[in-house]
């Protein structure tokens, strides 16, 4: 069943503390990545219970909601529920949670995630060109190849520039200035200078390395920064400090040019003399370590990493491995640590999920197992299989890990290597294994990669059939062998309910009635948040429209939520975009979880202050769980007073 993006988005927003608690929102291939002002307001259990949500992960200051390969469609509706930035920081004073390693990996992943579309797209073009030239369909010296390869290789060549953009966006600093530092590292004359080919330039040695000199005395070691990520990542705290320092010391009248000049004059020596070379050395050490491990015990290295990869994915740290991949490709020409291990792991998650689909009698689980298995095997998107099926039943996860280990062992023994990034590793990414200049030939890794895939799928699928015990009660299976719908199943929507008696909801304010479709705000007018009616108030007092409990309060005090005694959920939102007023015109007169009676004063609003701030006074009164009821009928008329009948819910 297709996911209801509107309903799911609304439920997620509510469960994490409302739109006002979301500092920023973005997504990767499978996860909604939120930065919350206060993670304490998020109800993890409520988020996990939402249909379509596979899991919740808190990593590196992010609140990650795992959706699967439908997350990009969900994000379109999610963004309609608030003015969510992609790069805003959490509220002042809030420190990201997690240990230093988690925070570091979370930051690296956050910087590299926005670059994935370009990385995957250009990587696949390289794969296509490799295939066409290997099969002699296209000449590697022709203009078509040169143009396409230049486009595809440009991303990796100018990766420091791209990182400058994403780091600045992530940290909330100047994008152009950060990009300039990245551009310096790949500027042609700078590369020529470091290569020792600049005519008339002074050269010498420093720490046993060839170098030239900045300002005549600072040694600049020769290094290659094309396709590098570590120098820019190491420069992040320096660039942040330099921009803040330059801003403080620059007089306002001169700041337009003095601030960027100071920033660049500070960062250029640091990146060329210290952190750039340090990043290059660290990259070489990582490559040497990879070569050592892979050269000494390839079967154990790839096998263990393949088996461990699901747990790395669970932490959200798999994107933080991209620097290792790019470094290996740039220095070694191939990668096994990321491309091959994820290939083995992803396929086995799919194999285990398909095993559950074959073994179970429950029609819903069978359908989910097939969909999740295909998603993992064909698209490399494993979170639905991992969280929706394998972790849910546990024993299939054991089978998936065993299959990945077996597949990885064989891949290590036979020397399977990946030569470029081509999307999330899946059966389709076998073509990224084409390449290599050794005696084994360009198709060696493809052939053995296919064999490893078959072994991994066979082990994970077969072991799941042995280990997994279907617990679908016999009473839930009808004569045709089809499992009856089980509303208690994780992720299943609750059954639509009807009130025993209609509930009359009174008007919380005095003013003019406005049909919801006429409210000049698409989110409210579309009914995305639920059915109801709006009021153009003439009095700032907001009273309880029925007996119930105060269920939702905002730091910005511009809205309040109630749950009526019979379960009707009501939201009163005073004004449009009034969250931007940061609570100034509003005063609460109740507390969270307080029981109230019809007519009790909930909050007051300074309507004049709201109007002077340029905000419209339309106040939607919404039944946010409208789907639970068969009919919501607003009263007819134009004028209404607080306490008069506003709508009937039944």
Q: How many helices (H) and strands (E) does the chain have?
A: 22, 21
Q: What does the pLDDT read at residue 533?
A: 93
DSSP letters for 560-587:
EEEEETTS-EEEEE-SSSGGGGTTTTEE
Per-residue DSSP letters for 475-510?
Answer: GGB-TTSPBPP-TTSTTPPPPP---SS-EEEE-SS-
For the chain, the structural domain boundaries read 5-98, 158-292, 297-476, 503-649
Q: What is the end-to-end Cα distance of the chain in Å, rounded? A: 27
Tell me how far apart the alpha carbons of residues 365 and 361 are, in angstroms, rounded to a whole number.
8
How far apart (Å, rounded) are the C-alpha atoms in residues 196 and 190? Answer: 10
pLDDT of the residue at 488 = 32
Residues facing 534 on adjacent strands: 514, 620
**Helix, strand, coil share of the chain (percent; to 5):** 50, 15, 35
Q: How far apart are CA 543 and CA 465, in angstroms?
A: 59
- Give, in degrees to the nearest 5, the angle at Cα 589 between 583 and 594: 115
Model pLDDT, residue 470: 76
Can you tell me whether residue 10 is helix, strand or coil?
helix
SS3 299: helix
CA dihedral over 92, 93, 94, 99, signed as positive or negative? positive
**How do strand 62-66 and strand 204-206 relate by DSSP bridges?**
unpaired
Q: What is the pLDDT of residue 350?
A: 92
DSSP 411: H
pLDDT, residue 244, reads 92
Give the residue numbers annotated as catalytic, written as ranges: 28, 573
Pairing, β 204-206 against β 55-59: unpaired
Instruction: Give every CB contact of residue 103 below 8 A, 6+ residues apart in sequence.
Output: 60, 61, 96
Compute the CA torsion angle 494, 495, 499, 505 (nearest 10 deg): 40
Contact between 397 and 352 under an 8 Å Cβ cutoff? The reply is: yes
Distance CA 491, CA 365 (A): 11
Class of domain 5-98: alpha beta
φ, ψ dihedrals at 234, nearest 5°: -65, -30
Q: Which CATH class is domain 503-649?
A: mainly beta
| Residue 232 and residue 239 in contact, taking contact as beta carbons nearer than 8 Å | no
Residue whose entry in the numeric block shows the structure tokens 């009948």: 645
Assess contact for 114 and 169: CB atoms under 8 A: yes
Tell me the pLDDT tens digit for each residue of 165-175: 999 988 888 89
Q: With a cut of 70, which residues of the chain have pLDDT below it?
A: 1-2, 29, 59-60, 69, 85-99, 101-103, 105-106, 109, 120, 290, 314-321, 422-423, 437-438, 471-501
605-613 — which CB contacts under 8 Å span 24+ positions?
605/537, 605/540, 605/542, 605/558, 605/574, 605/575, 606/540, 607/537, 607/538, 607/539, 607/540, 609/581, 609/584, 609/585, 610/574, 610/575, 610/578, 610/581, 610/585, 613/581, 613/585
Helix ranges restricted to H, 66-140: 71-78, 100-112, 116-134
Question: Which pLDDT belongs to residue 93?
Answer: 46
């Amino acid at each position: 069943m297709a996911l209801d993006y509107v309903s799911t988005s609304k439920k997620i927003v509510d469960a994490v503390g409302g739109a006002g608690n979301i500092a920023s929102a973005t997504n990767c291939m499978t996860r909604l990545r939120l930065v919350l002002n206060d993670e304490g307001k998020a109800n993890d259990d409520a988020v996990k219970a939402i249909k379509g949500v596979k899991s919740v992960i808190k990593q590196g200051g992010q609140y990650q909601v795992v959706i699967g390969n439908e997350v990009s469609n969900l994000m379109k509706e999610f963004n309609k529920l608030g003015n969510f930035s992609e790069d805003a920081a959490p509220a002042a004073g809030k420190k990201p949670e997690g240990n230093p390693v988690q925070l570091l990996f979370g930051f690296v992943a956050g910087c590299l995630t926005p670059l994935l579309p370009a990385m995957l797209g250009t990587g696949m073009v390289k794969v296509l060109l490799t295939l066409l030239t290997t099969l002699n369909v296209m000449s590697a010296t022709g203009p078509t190849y040169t143009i396409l390869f230049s486009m595809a290789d440009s991303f990796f060549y100018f990766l420091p520039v791209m990182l400058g953009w994403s780091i600045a966006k992530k940290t909330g600093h100047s994008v152009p200035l950060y990009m300039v530092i990245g551009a310096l590292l790949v500027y042609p004359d700078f590369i020529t200078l470091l290569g020792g080919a600049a005519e008339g330039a002074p050269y010498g040695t420093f720490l046993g390395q060839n170098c030239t000199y900045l300002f005549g005395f600072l040694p600049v070691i020769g290094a290659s920064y094309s396709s590098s990520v570590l120098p820019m990542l190491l420069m992040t705290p320096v660039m942040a400090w330099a921009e803040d320092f330059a801003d403080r010391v620059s007089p306002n009248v001169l700041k337009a040019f003095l601030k960027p000049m100071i920033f660049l004059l500070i960062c250029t020596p640091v990146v060329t003399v210290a952190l750039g070379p340090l990043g290059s050395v660290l990259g070489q050490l990582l490559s040497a370590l990879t070569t050592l491990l892979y050269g000494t015990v390839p079967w154990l290295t790839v096998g263990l990493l393949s088996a461990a990869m699901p747990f790395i994915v669970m932490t959200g740290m798999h994107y933080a491995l991209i620097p290792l991949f790019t470094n290996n490709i740039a220095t070694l020409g191939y990668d096994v640590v990321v491309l091959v291990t994820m290939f083995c792991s992803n396929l086995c998650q799919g194999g285990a999920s398909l095993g559950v689909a074959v073994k179970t009698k429950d029609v819903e689980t069978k359908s989910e197992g097939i969909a999740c298995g295909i998603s993992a095997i064909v698209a490399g998107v494993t979170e639905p299989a991992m969280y929706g099926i394998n972790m849910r039943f546990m024993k299939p996860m054991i089978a998936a890990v065993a299959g990945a280990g077996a597949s990885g062992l064989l891949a290590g023994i036979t020397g399977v290597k990946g030569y470029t990034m081509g999307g999330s590793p899946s059966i389709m990414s076998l073509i990224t294994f084409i390449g290599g200049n050794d005696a084994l030939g360009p198709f060696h890794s493809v052939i053995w990669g296919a064999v490893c895939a078959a072994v991994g799928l066979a082990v994970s699928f077969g072991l799941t059939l042995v280990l997994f015990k279907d617990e679908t009660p016999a009473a839930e299976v009808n004569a045709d062998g089809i499992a009856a719908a089980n509303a208690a199943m994780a992720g299943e929507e609750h059954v639509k309910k009807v009130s025993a008696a209609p509930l009359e909801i009174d008007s919380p304010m005095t003013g003019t009635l406005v049909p919801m479709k006429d409210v000049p705000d698409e989110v409210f007018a579309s009914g995305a948040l639920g059915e109801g009616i709006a009021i153009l108030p003439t009095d700032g007092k907001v009273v309880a429209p029925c007996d119930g409990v105060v269920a939702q309060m905002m730091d910005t005090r511009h809205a309040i939520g109630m749950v009526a005694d019979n379960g009707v959920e009501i939201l009163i939102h005073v004004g449009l975009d009034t969250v931007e007023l940061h609570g100034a015109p509003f005063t609460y007169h109740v507390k969270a979880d307080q029981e109230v009676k019809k007519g009790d004063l909930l909050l007051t609003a300074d309507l004049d202050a709201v109007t002077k701030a340029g905000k419209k006074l339309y106040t939607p009164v919404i039944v946010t769980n409208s789907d639970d009821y068969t009919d919501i009928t607003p009263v007819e008329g134009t004028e209404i007073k607080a306490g008069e009948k506003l709508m009937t819910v039944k």
